[in-house]
Copies of this chain bind each other. A is one copy, B any other.
Amino acid sequence: MSDIPPDLARLRSSIDNIDAALVHLLAERFKATQQVGELKAAVGLPPADPAREERQIARLRGLAHEAGLDPQFAEKFITFVIAEVIRHHEALASVEPGAAPTAGEPAATPAPSAPPVTCTTGPVDVPGGTPPRG
């Protein structure tokens, strides 16, 4: 470990800084989505909003393209994050007093049109690439 090339050490140091920034931004993002979840549960809005998610994905694919990031990866990334958010929202909807009429159900079954992402260890398989939604 101590004999890595200096260029590699320099790059890794930058990657570590970027990762720290990413983690802090994700923390802020979840603070915001936590509020969204509470608001949705209070007014009885469903945890998932497929139309909003489609717009988010399309926008981020565009931003990724401009920034030189693989748009397919950007889509996988935001889908990954949104799945976690919906899981939180569902948990909130199942306990919040003003939740949807059939409280409890949303937490048990994910919104059909926005299936959450399950991440497991194993060989990467992106069958024929992710079908672009947007």
Contact = CB atoms under 8 A, between A and B. Distances in A.
Contacts of A80: 76-77, 80, 119
Contact of A78 (B1, B19, B79, B115): B19
A107 B70 CA distance: 19
A110 B133 contact: no
Nearest to A90: B124
Interface residues of A, number: 69
Nearest to A37: B11
> Residue among A15, A29, A80, A116 with the most chain B CB within 10 A?
A15
A22 B78 CA distance: 10
Interface string A1-45: 100010110011011101111111111111111011001100101
Given A32-B14, A60-B19, A68 B124 contact: no
A22 B15 contact: no
Given A22-B29, A79-B119, 16 more contacts: A5-B43, A12-B36, A18-B25, A22-B77, A23-B64, A25-B25, A26-B73, A27-B64, A27-B67, A30-B68, A80-B80, A88-B130, A115-B122, A116-B123, A117-B119, A117-B124
